[in-house]
Structure 1
């Protein structure tokens, strides 16, 4: 019985045990990297959502600005016409 045979069960158990111990470290690093990737992915998704919301808010602001600008032009036209009308009325009253 030779103890130097290549099929020694204690060597196989030892090498598989060493391999098992090294795998969790790699898995741990991979898991940490995956968690980091997931975190970055979530942050990017939130950023995209914020950009989309900002774009929508800018569109709403532009629509309201155009509405106010149009109303301001209409208001100015009405007040100018009223001012002229009142001026003519005053001229008629003063000329009597």
Structure 2
């Protein structure tokens, strides 16, 4: 799988974890040069607290387009150390 935004591949992996239809990429498969920490956080009752990154590619910013669970609840332990994408980021077969 790969995640692409604004013509740039942000992540690529054949070992994503799918939860609720979202592909979570291992953090090691994500090009962190394009991610900027965000102050945004949301809470999921069964996964825990999600923290966000904004993407910066080609001079454009996609605010809060990536998220991760630093300390997921036990039910979502499989996504620890993984990052997912949305807000126009295309996640497709590589």
The two structures have a TM-score, normalised by structure 1, of 0.12
Task: Report the structure, 1 or 2, having the larger helix content.
Answer: 1
Task: Report the structure, 1 or 2, having the larger strand content.
Answer: 2
Higher relative contact order (CA 8 A, sep 6+): 2
Q: Which has the larger Rg?
A: 1
